[in-house]
Every structure is written in structure tokens, then in C-alpha cells.
Amino acid sequence: MGRKLLLLAPVFALVFFGRFFPREIPDAAAAAADAAYPATALFVLGDSSVNCGDNTFFYPLLPLNFSSTFCNGSHHRLLPDLIGTDSKLSDPAVAAERMGLPPVTPFFGLNGTAAAMMRGVNFGSTPATIVSGVLDGWLRGYDRFLFQSLSQQVRQVFEILQVLQLELGASAARRAASSALFILSFGKDDYAALFSRGSESNRLAPKYGRRGFARLLVSRLIQAIRDLYDADVRRVAVMGVAPLGCAPRIVWEGAYGLGGRDCVEEVNEIVAEYNAKLSARLLRLNSELAGAEIVFCDVYGGMMEIIANPRIYGFKNVRDACCGVGRFGGMIGCLAQEMACTEPNSYVWWDLYSTTESANSLLANWSWSPSSESRQQLCKPIALQELASISDSEAL
């Protein structure tokens, strides 16, 4: 009994701090969402690829970006801010604009109202891992309090749906889950820990094996999607892991053996193998879960297209970090905005592992709908635009 009360504590906290729950979504933004696409909300789970470090109890007193993007939007935006938007738009508050939705609020930034929850939530954390306990150093032991792993974020989704059920009823809660688009973007921080020098890599590699690690991550991610499906979630987009062998940190650590190349091929092969396993497993899962629409978005392939043809897409530098210290900007990450380069739009990499807004914009647009010019279709079997357009009757 005590354990159940402990699990429900965050729910009661949201109710308490919200003070009241409106019975309906009164604003024009919610009405526009219904009119634009059947997908009425965007829920995001993931790592630093989807969060700038503001999703914590301690923000803004302790912004946990740790060499990630900055939360004021001054340098670049992440995938939730760019999915389905025109890359030429400069307003950072344009999350899922083509879906007719307002900006996605971080979980710990919610005001406790059902109306706010119905518009969508970003559960993403910086960093976040699929496997709990992967983080090491001073982070180890504190990660459960400061960051939200995959399992923790899934529990937070359940908490939100519980609040909606308590306030609006079971039917409304089910519709909120089934009519929303869920984006999952995990794996980068798990592999960053695996490939890093030091105790994390020494601890993980013998335990799982570098290639056996992929099987573990895929199985955990598939189980999380099954759990979400049991909670009436029906539209899911899973983002693959980028080619980390080309990331400045990995290139810096492996520079002695690069031979003039811009990427560490062994790392890319391991990440590509993970992406292939995940894509194949998601394809099978689609047929196993009745009414589910699950897509895999090949971020790896999109990034390799950019790296192979930088001038076509307006990039001048595909190897160095825009914001970092040391060779390739890969020794110390981006700790202050003043460290950033003067032309971030010409760089593919922002910091140790993160991509710039220019790269994110291309990936977001290619994920939303195939480009006739580049012939890039990152998401399969359907693009995000089509996934968001599926009616409730088709998804259920």
C-alpha cells in the first residue's frame, strides 16, 4: 500500500500545485490542433536530442545542460521545436507548427492543469539513458534524482494519464493517449557512455559486449513501447541514433588512429547495427500490436547524407564542434554561449555529441515529409506527416 502511495505522489503534487483542473481546453490553440491534424498533442520522450536541460526540479537555479544546447533558443533548437516546421522560421516557439500545436512544455514546467497536459508534454531529460545506472562519475547514484531514464519517463507518462483520467474521465484519457503523437529519441547517451574512455566504458563493455549492448537497448525500448500501447498510446515515432563515430568527442578520442578520416568507422558500425536491429524489431512490433502505427526515423542515414554532401546543404565544417575546447572541439564541451563559433549554421556539430540547428532542421523536415529535391525519406513505413494525419478510427 505504501509503495502505491509513493508512486502516486507525483500525481497528487501536480493536482495540488495546479489548484484546479478545467473540464475542457478553452483556448484557440487546442481548437486549432483538432482542425489541423487528427493528432491533437505531441508527447516527447528522450535524451539531450530532445531536451536542453530545463526539465528538472532545479531549473533555472541549476540548468543541467552539461555541454548541450541552451534553453533560451539563442543558438539553435532541438527536434521537438523543429518537427514539421519550415527551417527558415526563426521563432523558437514553433514546436509542431504544421500540426497546429503550441510549444511542448517540459514535464517539470507544467502548471498542473489538465488543459496544459492535453496539449502535450516533453518528458525528455539531459542526459537520459535506456539502461538505468549507465551514467558514471559523480552522476552515478544521483542520476535517478537529476535525470529521467526511459523507464522513469514512461512512468511520468502514466502519471499524466492518471491525472487526466481522474479529472476528465477514463474515456477522455484514452482519447488523449490514442490521438497524440509520441516521439521517442533514446540511445545517444547510452552509446556515449559505452564509447567514452574511462570507468563507464570499462564497466559496460565487459558486462554486455559492445554489440550485445544493442540487443539490450532494443529489448528495453520495445518493452517501453508495449507499456505505452497498454496505456492506449497508438502513434509512435522512434528516432534512431546518429553516427556517433563522426561526433567531435569520439573523433577526438580516436584521432590517433583516424588516418586523415573524419569518422571512427568501428563506432559507426556498432551504432548502425543497433539502428538496424531496432528498425527490424519495430517493423515486427507494428504487426503484433493491433491498431498501432509505429515508425522508425533513420537519423543515422540523414546525418551521413549531410556529412557526405556538406556543400549541397550549406555546411562548411562536418568534423569540428561549433562550441567546444581542444582538437575538433571534442576535449571539453560547451559550457558557455561565449565559447560558440561565430557561424554555427555552417557547422554540422554543435558540441561533443549534439548537432546544430541547421542539421536538426534538415533532419526534422526529412522526418516530417520526404524531400523531392534530396529524395530523403527518414521515417518508414510512413513519414511523420502521414502518421499525424491518421484519424482516431484508423489508429484504434
Per-residue HEC secondary structure of 65-83 comes to: CCCCCCCCCCCCCCHHHHC
Query: What is the rounded CA–CA span in Å between residue 113 and residue 136?
Result: 36
pLDDT more than 90, % of the chain: 42
Average pLDDT for 100-109: 78
Task: Quote the pTM value.
Answer: 0.82
Query: What is the rounded CA–CA span in Å between residue 375 and residue 98?
Result: 21
Contact at 8 Å (CB) between 388 and 181? yes
Three-state DSSP state, 183: strand
Provide the pLDDT for residue 44: 92
Q: Which amino acid is at 212?
A: G
Q: Provide the pairing of β-strand 317-321 with 347-349.
A: parallel
Domain limits for position 78: 2-242+265-309+376-395
Domain membership flag for residue 255: no
User: What letter would DSSP give residue 341?
Assistant: -
C-alpha cell at 201: 566504458
* Residue 178: band (very low, low, confident or very high) from pLDDT cuts 50, 70, 90: very high
What's CA 361's distance to the chain center, in Å?
A: 14
Kindly state the helix (H) or strand (E) to which residue 106 belongs, with its residue range: strand 105-106
Provide the pLDDT for residue 198: 59
Average pLDDT for 318-335: 89
Average pLDDT for the chain: 77
Q: Dihedral of the CA atoms 207, 213, 217, 220 (nearest 10)?
A: -40
Domain membership flag for residue 252: no
State pLDDT tens for residues 330-370. Answer: 888 888 778 889 999 999 999 899 899 899 888 888 888 87
Domain membership flag for residue 248: no
CATH of the domain at 210: 3.40.50
- Number of domains the chain is built from: 1
Task: Write the CB contacts of 3 (distance below 8 Å, at least 6 apart in sequence).
Answer: none
Q: Provide the pairing of β-strand 105-106 with 121-122.
A: parallel
Provide the pLDDT for residue 315: 96
Q: Dihedral of the CA atoms 144, 184, 360, 324 (nearest 10)?
A: 20
Domain membership flag for residue 139: yes
Higher local confidence (pLDDT), 5 or 183? 183
State pLDDT tens for residues 274-297. Answer: 999 999 999 999 999 999 999 999
Provide the pLDDT for residue 393: 56
Higher local confidence (pLDDT), 36 or 96? 96
**Cα-flanking dihedrals φ and ψ of residue 42, to 5°?**
-120, 120
State pLDDT tens for residues 197-250. Answer: 655 555 565 667 777 889 999 999 999 999 999 999 999 999 999 999 999 999
Domain membership flag for residue 37: yes
Least confident among 23-27, 43-47, 48-52, 354-358: 23-27
Domain membership flag for residue 318: no
Return the exposure string of 36-68: e unless at least 16 CB atoms fall within 10 Å of the residue's CB, then b: bbbbbbbbbbbbbbbbbbbbbeebeeebbbbbb
Domain membership flag for residue 330: no
Least confident among 121-130, 148-157, 253-262: 253-262
Three-state DSSP state, 384: helix
Provide the pLDDT for residue 196: 78
Domain membership flag for residue 250: no
* Residue 3: band (very low, low, confident or very high) from pLDDT cuts 50, 70, 90: very low
Q: Which residues pair with 355 in a beta bridge?
A: 349
Least confident among 104-108, 164-168, 380-384: 104-108
- Burial of 132 (C-beta count, 10 Å sphere; 0-12/13-18/19+): middle
